[in-house]
Structure 1
Amino acid sequence: MSSEDERTNPPGEQLALIRESVRKAKEPKARRGTWRGADLAEGLPVARVLVDKGVLHLDKYFDYAVPAAMDADAQPGVRVRVRFGAGAHNVVSGRREGGGLIDGFVVARLTESDYAGPLAAIAQVVSPEPVLSPALLRLCRAVADRYAGSLADVIQLAVPARHGRVEKKPSPEPPATPAPPEPGTWSRYPTGPALLRALGRGDSPRAVWTALPGPHWPAELAAAIAATLASGRGALAVLPDGRAAARVDAALTALLGEGHHVLLTADSGPEARYRRWLAVSRGAVRAVVGTRAAMFAPVQDLGLVALWDDGDSSHAEPHAPMPHARDVLLLRATEERAAFLLGGLIRTVEGAQLVETQWALPVDASREEVRAAAPLVRTIGDGDQARDGAARAARLPSLAWQVAREALLRGPVLVQVPRRGYVPRLACERCREPARCGQCAGPLELTDGSSAPQCGWCGRPEAAWHCQECGGFRLRAQVVGARRTADELGRAFPKVPVRTSGRDGILGAVTGTPALVISTPGAEPVAEGGYAAALLLDGWALLNRPDLRAGEETLRRWTGAAALVRPATEGGTVLVLAEPTLRPVQALVRWDPAGHAARELAERAELGFPPVSRMASVTGSPAAVAALVALVELARLPEGAAVLGPVPVSGDRPGGPRRAGDAPAGEHWERMLIRVPPGSGAALAAALKAAQVARTALKQTDQVLVRIDPLDIG
């Protein structure tokens, strides 16, 4: 292994020096750890290796000698094991002073190394299967540079864990190229058939698609994939969760039959997922439908990348360097000259920016088609609820009871509740101060209708709670959860089945028979034939969040539920409990998500917020954050950069949720934001990466979380 501190030799003498040392290293009783190779590989005796060390100061390649016995297998893209660290085995001296075996990937074979010192040898070729193709390596390098991360961390996300038994089995033969699909329901969009024809011709159109409500979008996405396959190219579609991916998987199987695509989700298990991934890597399958990790799927001759519902937070990778699937697919579309399709029931501000800059063209339906597909949306504001005795007594206004009662005669009714649990937040009945745990200051909650309140953090029961502010002993519900709502509605409609869908158990689908379906946002099951009505409760809980994306996210969650309701022409009704004058409420009533996104983008542009500008967040202890930001400024931030903050961080800390006892008494976490003008994102990422490398050199060990383009900037 190369090292800057070892003595150097003239580059021309290095190869001869290595060969001579290898010939001398044939001791039959060599001590443990020495290399006993017979000879060095001819022609290309040097392997350039990416070691699996996700630390930024080691984000580079290292050269190793290739023994002759490994010449055939140690090809670019294969997994190897090498000695790494101080005192790794020296081919020249034959000594081993330390250094352990770690995994890595061969990225190139060379005639000689540009390093002048002695090289260590590859210890083992783990598998001759080339899993890191040149295209995948370029993509991972681009993602690492964009997000100020290390290449090794990105490759860990891109290449799944190996299963040797799977590699020994041959992949199936590629299926025949399918015929171009018919436009079908794409005809509801003026430019829909033209999009399919362009994909079938082998063109690379770029589109932002606002899908109509109803059950047709999986089949429409499947048709776009089939049209790309008909051109002889590959296709990749990324969905936010396994349920959405399963719907597209079923639609594509119904359209083309088995063998044309694979489904890559965590639900399939590691071995099955690796078998399918390997079939894609070998070119046996040319279409992939999957969740977030599938954004790196090595589809050969890629012709289309598609992303559904890019506003869903599931598309943001939680592991370093935390890339977003939308940005990764944008990089792939540019690098591999593939078509790009960003679809969803709403349009995010990022999608609006792609349309505004004319990087992509909009695919929207006419107002006539929208009115034919959308349900009737009615609103109940705060004033209406204040005047309604039923709303004051039972939390639901009279109109909601009426809509639910009438709809239950025709089919199931969906009730969306923003919070899970029974009563997830409690407060003092007298002064409304939030109820806190006496031990860790966590929020108190009720898990059912009969038990004592307990802490939501440490689980400690608080049977003898009293308010620290006013001395009161009585509690009231600050927020009502899905299970409490299910109990209330079950008592109101005793003869109607009540089903719940949420974090504790998500329903995939329900029948079209009358039933009450209580769901948290994102967990709504699909109803056979559509829901007769939907009640969207507690809109204030979504709209009042201190988040720049609160309006967009609220509209996304409401639209996702309302799109499952039958059209207004079939009696479908959506009732939203929120102030009618608010912009997201009006966008839902008019079913105009594109207009809402355009207005949000215009406001972001005025304020200089993403996606118009690029931004990074730095979170950690005050001293660590200040030190890192100072190093970033020394690394020459681009002109026009602005440092915002610091501000205290409540509830989160680097690495995950914060709980009492995580940090010493009196310690708190802060966050600073660094904003740069458009076109300066690469310079910002480079400065952040240089600053983190400098922290390592200065032996600053305090934990700091750096994130490019954070989803939540408050």
Structure 2
Amino acid sequence: MSDQSAPDEGALFEAPRAATAPRPRPRRPAATLSVARVVVDTPLPHLDRPFDYRVPESLDETAVPGCRVRVRFNGQTLDGFLLERVAESAFPGRLAYLHQVVSPEPVLTPEIAALARAVADHYAGTLSDVLRLAVPPRHARVEKEPQPAAAEPPPGIGDAPLDAGPWTDYPTGPAFLGALRADRAPRAVWTALPGPRWCDAIAVAAHTALAAGRGTLVVVPDGRAVARVDAALTERLGRDRHVALTAELGPAERYRRWLTVLRGRVRIVVGTRAAMFAPVTDLGLVVLWDDGDDVHCDPHAPYPHARTVLSLRAHRTRSAALFGSFTRTVESALLVESGWAHPILADRDLVRRRAPLVRAAGDDAELARDEAARSARLPSMALRVAREAARRGPVLFQVPRRGYLDALACARCRTPARCPACRGPLALRSAHAMPYCRWCGHIAGDWRCPSCEFPRMRATVVGARRTAEELGRAFPSVPVRTSGREEVLAEVPDTPALVVATPGAEPTAAGGYAAAVLLDGWALLGRADLRAAEEALRRWCNASALVRPAEDGGQVVVLADAALPAVQALIRWNPAAFAERELAERRELGFPPAVTMASVTGEAARVREFLDQAALPPTAELLGPVPVGGDGVERALLRVSRDASRELSAALKAAGAARSARREERAVQVRMDPLDVV
């Protein structure tokens, strides 16, 4: 007999069964350092801490500190960064395994991770928010590309002294370079001389740091400044010895260059705001140019400012710091006063020779000659200077506002022209256009003044395009060029021309401008802003620095009251004294940076709940809340002394975490060191 049993008859007529799936092999932890501490990409403040995961044996080699991972978190698969691997976890329960290693590339270095944690604590934010700013998105194709070999050291690297270049114009400049070469981490606030040599001075400082075996990070306001510093570094160091990081590069190329820095192929980086977190190997010098420009403050939470980030980074890495500008901010003046940094200034005689001749159109002597100058937008002195200078080269006209006619009023009674539909301000786009509302877009062709029924309007705020139109009629034989939001010019030739530009968009001129006219000073000085005078002086100095020296005939006419401190600082070209005076006044009045302030903004009820729940420092002073904008939005200001800054940020962060843990969706916006406090 056969040993095989006969099949059951019923089984012959059953449908075939599906093959049984093999059971998954049990996951085993890595043999050593089997616990990974991961920062999970979640915006919830109460989850702002590392979480422990088990490293499976299959991911032991790729799960390296700093790599991108994916983990199961609260029923979802989220991205994160592996901070470190340890042998044991303090968590008493069962640990979940890492779900995936996205890339073994260690994109988060220990230095940047520690810096991000410090920045998050300073600004009462979360680590994941800062890491979104610090580490760019991944491009797998770029990561797999072969990397070129590191460039050879540039000529001049060795024991021989380097050429100080433009730093010889400053009495303490060579000493700063000497301390930098000796790796003594000097820190300085540098008030640069007018002219284009500031780029060369930064290149010399970077070369000196490289000679000391350290890397350099340079942060500038915009892409045009990046291009200038990029050219200066290339001229001094040669090609492929530094990288430039800007948003205009595109995600792939920017990530490619960022990886070049991460992998230590180059040690000098120049870029805009986002480059402040660039992972420079062995960082020895941080440079910030024009720290008063508000573009250095990131618009994303937790709203870090490049000056604060670079100050923290210089302190943590024992790096040198150089904060330069044609002016001096009040924050930089505080750094000098506290002894954290030393000033670098040129002698007054050299400043007078390098700076253009500055005159105020509203001074008493000019008004005695021309009474109409009190109300004229372009007084006779400004016209006279512009006509004379236009024979010798380009003339710059700085206009505070872009557009055509951005504000209108009744031509008879001066009542502001408002939209009949939403009460928004009326404006004009061109000479032949109908008035329109800047809020709702309504065309108000049949407008009449509600006060006197007069149908005609006059301009109260003139933009750059209307200014260019008026100048074209006043100077019919001179070409007029504009530089602003729609089209920003990088450079203009050294030929007679009128250049109308908004602040920050002024192109450079080969050989410098023959003259500059700074229009509508009242528009800058009259803003309801604590920093109005400081910002006006910064914009004026940046434009005036493009003008030829006084000994070469360069002149600047500013249309503002000559008695104002900001105007006097421009005339004398002494922004450092103005910053010291501003700091003294703010200390007396209790305004930043003499004190630390934080703002809490949101719906009125939410702001009050938040303030009631926050365990604020005993010395904290509450200002407000007061309405801001519409829809019931309010803002409160909190003021403490500078030595209580950490207590305030910790209290605000704890209050936000408590609200987040209670799943209160309508959160408030918390900002430490807000730029707009008035």
Task: Give the TM-score normalised by structure 2.
Answer: 0.94
**Deviation per residue, 1:298-337 (Å, 9 max, x gap):** 1111100110000000000000000000000000011000
| C-alpha distance 386-267 of structure 1, shift in aligned 2 (>3 A) | farther
- Following the alignment from structure 1 to structure 2, what is the Cα–Cα distance between the partners of residues 640 and 470? 53
Instruction: Spell out the pairing of 1:570-585 with structure 2 (5 A cutoff).
Output: 570-585=552-567
Structure 1 segments unaligned to the other structure (5+ residues): 1-26, 86-98, 651-662
- Following the alignment from structure 2 to structure 1, what is the Cα–Cα distance between the partners of residues 402 and 618? 46
| C-alpha distance 393-645 of structure 1, shift in aligned 2 (>3 A) | closer
Query: Is the Cα contact below 8 Å between 1:82 and 1:104 reproduced in 2?
Result: yes
How much has 1:385 moved relative to structure 2? Answer: 6.3
* Residue in structure 2 matched with residue 69 of structure 1 by the alignment: 58
Query: Is the Cα contact below 8 Å between 1:146 and 1:685 reproduced in 2?
Result: yes
Q: Does 1:341 align with 2:322?
A: yes
- Following the alignment from structure 1 to structure 2, what is the Cα–Cα distance between the partners of residues 302 and 557? 31
**Deviation per residue, 1:1-52 (Å, 9 max, x gap):** xxxxxxxxxxxxxxxxxxxxxxxxxx9467xxxx866432211222111111
**One-letter amino acid of the counterpart of residue 570, structure 1:** D
How much has 1:345 moved relative to structure 2? Answer: 0.3
**One-letter amino acid of the counterpart of residue 684, structure 1:** L
* Residue in structure 2 matched with residue 564 of structure 1 by the alignment: 546
1:521 alignment partner, SS class: coil
- Following the alignment from structure 1 to structure 2, what is the Cα–Cα distance between the partners of residues 51 and 38? 22
Q: Does 1:372 align with 2:356?
A: no
* Residue in structure 2 matched with residue 696 of structure 1 by the alignment: 660
How much has 1:472 moved relative to structure 2? Answer: 3.5
Tell me whether 169-178 or 313-322 shows the greater mean CA deviation: 169-178
How much has 1:430 moved relative to structure 2? Answer: 3.0
2:642 alignment partner, SS class: coil
Instruction: Spell out the pairing of 1:402-421 with structure 2 (5 A cutoff).
Output: 402-421=384-403
1:679 alignment partner, SS class: helix
Q: Does 1:552 align with 2:534?
A: yes
How much has 1:170 moved relative to structure 2? Answer: 3.2
* Residue in structure 1 matched with residue 484 of structure 2 by the alignment: 502
Q: Does 1:83 align with 2:65?
A: no
| C-alpha distance 151-452 of structure 1, shift in aligned 2 (>3 A) | same
Quick one: which of 290, 295, 300 aligns to 1:319?
A: 300
* Residue in structure 1 matched with residue 640 of structure 2 by the alignment: 676
- Following the alignment from structure 2 to structure 1, what is the Cα–Cα distance between the partners of residues 512 and 667? 49
How much has 1:203 moved relative to structure 2? Answer: 2.0
Quick one: which of 597, 619, 631 aligns to 1:640?
A: 619
1:518 alignment partner, SS class: strand
RMSD: 1.7
Quick one: which of 106, 114, 120 aligns to 1:138?
A: 114
Instruction: Spell out the pairing of 1:149-168 with structure 2 (5 A cutoff).
Output: 149-168=125-144
Query: Is the Cα contact below 8 Å between 1:533 and 1:574 reproduced in 2?
Result: yes
**One-letter amino acid of the counterpart of residue 281, structure 1:** L
1:420 alignment partner, SS class: coil
Query: Is the Cα contact below 8 Å between 1:81 and 1:102 reproduced in 2?
Result: yes
Quick one: which of 417, 441, 445 aligns to 1:459?
A: 441
Query: Is the Cα contact below 8 Å between 2:394 and 2:514 reproduced in 1?
Result: yes
2:65 alignment partner, SS class: coil
Q: Does 1:169 align with 2:145?
A: yes
Tell me whether 466-475 or 640-649 shows the greater mean CA deviation: 466-475
**Deviation per residue, 1:99-145 (Å, 9 max, x gap):** 22111111111222211222222111110000011111000000000
Tell me whether 469-478 or 503-512 shows the greater mean CA deviation: 469-478
How much has 1:396 moved relative to structure 2? Answer: 1.1
- Following the alignment from structure 1 to structure 2, what is the Cα–Cα distance between the partners of residues 509 and 703? 46
| C-alpha distance 485-697 of structure 1, shift in aligned 2 (>3 A) | same
Q: Does 1:363 align with 2:344?
A: yes
| C-alpha distance 119-395 of structure 1, shift in aligned 2 (>3 A) | same
Tell me whether 60-69 or 528-537 shows the greater mean CA deviation: 60-69
* Residue in structure 2 matched with residue 118 of structure 1 by the alignment: 94
* Residue in structure 1 matched with residue 613 of structure 2 by the alignment: 631
Instruction: Spell out the pairing of 1:428-577 with structure 2 (5 A cutoff).
Output: 428-577=410-559
**One-letter amino acid of the counterpart of residue 359, structure 2:** R
How much has 1:171 moved relative to structure 2? Answer: 2.6
Number of equivalenced pairs: 653
- Following the alignment from structure 1 to structure 2, what is the Cα–Cα distance between the partners of residues 56 and 299? 29
Query: Is the Cα contact below 8 Å between 2:216 and 2:286 reproduced in 1?
Result: yes
- Could you tell me the percent identity over the aligned residues? 60
Query: Is the Cα contact below 8 Å between 1:48 and 1:107 reproduced in 2?
Result: yes
* Residue in structure 2 matched with residue 301 of structure 1 by the alignment: 282
Q: Does 1:148 align with 2:112?
A: no
- Following the alignment from structure 1 to structure 2, what is the Cα–Cα distance between the partners of residues 476 and 267? 40
How much has 1:382 moved relative to structure 2? Answer: 8.0
Query: Is the Cα contact below 8 Å between 2:377 and 2:520 reproduced in 1?
Result: no
How much has 1:184 moved relative to structure 2? Answer: 1.4
How much has 1:474 moved relative to structure 2? Answer: 2.0
Pick the structure with greater CA Rg. Answer: 2
**One-letter amino acid of the counterpart of residue 204, structure 2:** A
Tell me whether 541-550 or 428-437 shows the greater mean CA deviation: 428-437
* Residue in structure 2 matched with residue 24 of structure 1 by the alignment: none
**One-letter amino acid of the counterpart of residue 264, structure 2:** G
- Following the alignment from structure 2 to structure 1, what is the Cα–Cα distance between the partners of residues 22 and 226? 57
How much has 1:392 moved relative to structure 2? Answer: 7.7
| C-alpha distance 438-121 of structure 1, shift in aligned 2 (>3 A) | farther
Tell me whether 601-610 or 406-415 shows the greater mean CA deviation: 601-610
1:284 alignment partner, SS class: coil
| C-alpha distance 624-449 of structure 1, shift in aligned 2 (>3 A) | same
2:643 alignment partner, SS class: coil
- Following the alignment from structure 1 to structure 2, what is the Cα–Cα distance between the partners of residues 232 and 675? 43
- Following the alignment from structure 1 to structure 2, what is the Cα–Cα distance between the partners of residues 433 and 701? 43
**One-letter amino acid of the counterpart of residue 648, structure 2:** L
* Residue in structure 2 matched with residue 12 of structure 1 by the alignment: none
* Residue in structure 2 matched with residue 128 of structure 1 by the alignment: 104
1:472 alignment partner, SS class: coil
Query: Is the Cα contact below 8 Å between 1:37 and 1:67 reproduced in 2?
Result: no
Quick one: which of 400, 420, 425 aligns to 2:382?
A: 400
- Following the alignment from structure 2 to structure 1, what is the Cα–Cα distance between the partners of residues 437 and 368? 32
- Following the alignment from structure 1 to structure 2, what is the Cα–Cα distance between the partners of residues 540 and 274? 44
How much has 1:267 moved relative to structure 2? Answer: 1.2
Query: Is the Cα contact below 8 Å between 2:334 and 2:583 reproduced in 1?
Result: yes
| C-alpha distance 474-48 of structure 1, shift in aligned 2 (>3 A) | same
How much has 1:597 moved relative to structure 2? Answer: 0.3
Structure 2 segments unaligned to the other structure (5+ residues): 1-19
* Residue in structure 1 matched with residue 591 of structure 2 by the alignment: 609
Query: Is the Cα contact below 8 Å between 1:317 and 1:323 reproduced in 2?
Result: yes
* Residue in structure 2 matched with residue 656 of structure 1 by the alignment: none
* Residue in structure 2 matched with residue 292 of structure 1 by the alignment: 273
Query: Is the Cα contact below 8 Å between 1:386 and 1:392 reproduced in 2?
Result: no
Quick one: which of 185, 191, 201 aligns to 2:166?
A: 185
Task: Give the TM-score normalised by structure 1.
Answer: 0.89
How much has 1:668 moved relative to structure 2? Answer: 2.6
- Following the alignment from structure 1 to structure 2, what is the Cα–Cα distance between the partners of residues 190 and 171? 43
2:310 alignment partner, SS class: helix
Query: Is the Cα contact below 8 Å between 1:390 and 1:396 reproduced in 2?
Result: no
- Following the alignment from structure 2 to structure 1, what is the Cα–Cα distance between the partners of residues 401 and 69? 48
Query: Is the Cα contact below 8 Å between 1:411 and 1:513 reproduced in 2?
Result: yes
- Following the alignment from structure 2 to structure 1, what is the Cα–Cα distance between the partners of residues 452 and 101? 70
2:99 alignment partner, SS class: strand
**Deviation per residue, 1:514-555 (Å, 9 max, x gap):** 100000011000000000000000000000011111110000
**One-letter amino acid of the counterpart of residue 492, structure 1:** A
- Following the alignment from structure 1 to structure 2, what is the Cα–Cα distance between the partners of residues 697 and 202? 47
Q: Does 1:711 align with 2:675?
A: yes
